[in-house]
Structure 1
Amino acid sequence: MSTMNPLSPEALLAAPKVLLHDHLDGGLRPRTVIELADACGHEGLPTADPAELGAWFRDNADSGSLVRYLEGFAHTCGVMQDEAALVRVAAEAAQDLADDGVAYAEIRYAPELFTDRGLRLEQVVEAVNEGFRQGEAASGNRIRVNALLCAMRQNDGWQRIADLVVRYRDAGVVGFDIAGPEAGFPATRELPAFEYLREQNAHFTVHAGEADGLESIHRAVQRCGAERLGHGVRIIDDVDGDQVGRLAAYVRDRRIALEMCPTSNVHTGAFASIAEHPVKRLADLGFRVTLNTDNRLMSDCSLTGEFAAVVREFDFGWDDLRTFTVNAAKAAFLPLDERRALIQDVVEPGYAALKG
């Protein structure tokens, strides 16, 4: 018989998890950043002590500003400019997530950010895919990891990334995203990329409703055809008490998943605290809410930690966490039979054991 208390830290760690929103370049181990910087000659790290560097990333992120939050990526991307580094970072990400109880993860990254020293986009994708496979094996195949490829919304050339998604979709790439500064760079800047993805029967999510409002969500859903929303927290602005506005109702009724990242949303200034985060209100209203990490290094977080934070603040129980996890499995960019197997063979038995 288990000695774990209900919803104890040990039990939350043991809970099976599905992660849809995690950035590869936002989840490095501090020691890895230091070692890779030394190997490639990257300069400017504020410290060579892993604990101090981790604290620096966290403090820089916890500023209330998305712009400042993104500054730390100059260092992580700076040390990820060769194939060996990409393989290592991807492998360690898979291992760290497996150790956190994640059974399935979709990790996203922008290939163009890792070409400063001459790598071709294809080399980036193949190196990251190789890293994920190595990490899965090293974890004893406790986790499966797939990739989402991001175009940077402030840059041109989204079609190049959409082409890569289609080219590598049978090799571990399951979808497309746009990332980067949301305000001022609408998702409709390069609509043909989304039209191409739909024509090719490819999946995509869109960062929307994080640092911009309802219009950003409307463009992502109605103009681009997003299947999921990265963050999507500003959908709460279309909710008045129990009255759900037309856009919010459309998102809810079409089961468009919200990839919610509570700690990150506080750090970037979307909300002042976890207590003010709309995760519970939206869940109570029937939205397809999922819990995610966003950037594990920057926000010094884990998916187990996100579970613990919302349990502590909103008194969620096992049924709530199970629902969030099933929501994520249903919204994963996997074939139907694989999503069903993930739910029936991993998620449901895991939560039944914890409840029992």
Structure 2
Amino acid sequence: MDLSSVALAPKVLLHDHLDGGLRPATVLELAHEVGYSELPADDADGLARWFRESADSGSLVRYLETFTHTVAVMQTAPALARVARECALDLANDGVVYAEIRFAPEQHLTTGLSLDEVVEAVLRGFDEGAAEAADAGRRIEVRCLVTAMRHAARSREIAELAVRFRDRGVVGFDIAGAEAGYPPSRHLDAFEYMRANNAPFTIHAGEAFGLPSIHEAISFCGTDRLGHGVRVIDDITLPAGTDLAAHQFAGAELGVIANYVRDKRIPLELCPSSNVQTGAVSSIAEHPFNVLARLRFRVTVNTDNRLMSDTSMSKEFITLHNQFGYGWADFERFTVNAMKSAFVHFDERLALIDDVIKPGYAVLIG
């Protein structure tokens, strides 16, 4: 299994940040256009290397600091549309057939754009990129999640934005940012608004802060998915002497939260490379993805921030293959998990599973 073969596999991406997936060359060009002079490198290779090395700090707070530069060059409608268009093209070229891309509209207002204008520009870019990919023989459907920053106080306003654009490409709502000190329950008003309008949402939880944030996201806020959720492993006890490399976890004891997450089939938006970079886990070898997958949690594979992690869906698949020995049948299961968990309507999910995902893996499995 190599990158070229994995790139052929149909993939579904639920957790990817628009401002974390720019092409380095685009960052440079947009910075030149808007007169932004704070970039730490003046060539694409050097800039890519800086983002990757800076994100490898093991700290979520340090990791988030790298977004200062990408957000700075995404403050005009043309820039937002370009970044969105290139995002759709890059994902399509990597075999992604469905993606939900998230971003925080409130961070793109410095040149006078309204929240609606920001979302309109991004959706226009996604449509243009998907159309261009289709012309090249690559099918992709891209939808948007609008994100509120958990340290700010605009979450209700952003939730209203999500509902306002629900039939125009926005399929859900999210909160993101540093977890410590900013529990999801601070934004109950936004989540209650989403529920009142029968609109789905996900919450960044269980990445840096652990089980308490997962408990709040589920029990108090009623989240439909867990953004990361990797620390649910803290509520699972493996028998003494369990060999993680043996892939056998019989006798595992699940606590109340872990049982609830598994029983309710709450999707986990796991991002292996990013989880290591932010210090949520110590290494890929220690990542609980395999334990959770083999215990039949609804795990999904995601990139989080392709620029910062120097990754793609294909690279994440290869990483999991090399570490845990997964094959095509496993990746089909993870992909179907993700499509089942998408925020589009049931008939759209089913059509992609039956007409695109399963036939694509049937060819690979042979």
Same fold (TM over 0.5): yes
Q: 1-side partners of 2:333 and 2:207: how far apart?
A: 23
Q: 1-side partners of 2:3 and 2:104: how far apart?
A: 33
Q: Say whether residues 1:297 and 2:291 are aligned partners.
A: no
Q: 2-side partners of 1:79 and 1:11: how far apart?
A: 34
Q: 1-side partners of 2:328 and 2:40: how far apart?
A: 41
CA positional deviation for 1:117: 1.6
Q: 1:223 maps to what in 2?
A: 220
Q: 1:3 maps to what in 2?
A: none
Q: 1:340 maps to what in 2?
A: 350
SS at match of 2:131: helix
Q: List, as ranges, runs of 4+ consecutive aligned residues in structure 1 with deviation greater than 6 Å.
A: none
Picking from 31, 50, 69, the partner of 2:25 is 31
Picking from 327, 341, 347, the partner of 1:317 is 327
Cα root mean square deviation, aligned = 0.7
Q: 2-side partners of 1:328 and 1:111: how far apart?
A: 25
Q: 2:96 maps to what in 1?
A: 102
Q: Write the deviation string for residues 126-155 of structure 1: whole angstroms up to 9, x where unpaired.
A: 000000000001111610100000000000
Picking from 176, 184, 189, the partner of 1:187 is 184
Q: Say whether residues 1:152 and 2:149 are aligned partners.
A: yes
SS at match of 2:102: strand
CA positional deviation for 1:180: 0.4
Q: Say whether residues 1:244 and 2:254 are aligned partners.
A: yes
Q: 2:246 maps to what in 1?
A: none
Q: 1-side partners of 2:282 and 2:152: how far apart?
A: 30
CA positional deviation for 1:192: 1.4
Q: Write the deviation string for residues 193-222 of structure 1: whole angstroms up to 9, x where unpaired.
A: 111100101010000000101110000011
| Letter in structure 2 aligned against 1:14 | L
| Letter in structure 1 aligned against 2:83 | V
Picking from 279, 287, 296, the partner of 2:297 is 287
CA positional deviation for 1:157: 1.6
Q: 1:70 maps to what in 2?
A: 64
Unaligned runs of 5+ in 2: 239-251
Q: 1:47 maps to what in 2?
A: 41
| Letter in structure 2 aligned against 1:123 | E
Q: Say whether residues 1:115 and 2:109 are aligned partners.
A: yes
| Letter in structure 1 aligned against 2:173 | F
CA positional deviation for 1:8: 2.8
Q: 2:242 maps to what in 1?
A: none
Q: 2-side partners of 1:163 and 1:203: how far apart?
A: 12
Output the TM-score relative to the length of structure 1.
Answer: 0.97
Q: 1-side partners of 2:128 and 2:57: how far apart?
A: 35
Q: 1:134 maps to what in 2?
A: 128
Q: 1:16 maps to what in 2?
A: 10
CA positional deviation for 1:190: 2.1
| Letter in structure 1 aligned against 2:56 | D
Q: 1:326 maps to what in 2?
A: 336
SS at match of 1:290: strand
CA positional deviation for 1:252: 0.6
Q: 1:178 maps to what in 2?
A: 175
| Letter in structure 2 aligned against 1:56 | W
Q: 2-side partners of 1:152 and 1:198: how far apart?
A: 19
CA positional deviation for 1:71: 1.1
Output the TM-score relative to the length of structure 2.
Answer: 0.95
CA positional deviation for 1:94: 0.2
Q: 2-side partners of 1:296 and 1:190: how far apart?
A: 28
Q: 2-side partners of 1:208 and 1:57: how far apart?
A: 24
| Letter in structure 1 aligned against 2:70 | T
Unaligned runs of 5+ in 1: 1-6
CA positional deviation for 1:9: 2.3
Q: What pairs up with 1:263-282 in 2 under 5 angstroms?
A: 263-282=273-292
Q: Write the deviation string for residues 277-312 of structure 1: whole angstroms up to 9, x where unpaired.
A: 000000011100000000000110000000000000
CA positional deviation for 1:36: 0.1
Q: 2:243 maps to what in 1?
A: none
Percent identical pairs in the alignment equals 60
The alignment of Structure 1 onto Structure 2 pairs a total of residues equal to: 350
Q: 2-side partners of 1:264 and 1:157: how far apart?
A: 26
Q: 2-side partners of 1:168 and 1:151: how far apart?
A: 15
CA positional deviation for 1:188: 0.4
| Letter in structure 1 aligned against 2:349 | R
| Letter in structure 2 aligned against 1:45 | L
| Letter in structure 1 aligned against 2:96 | V
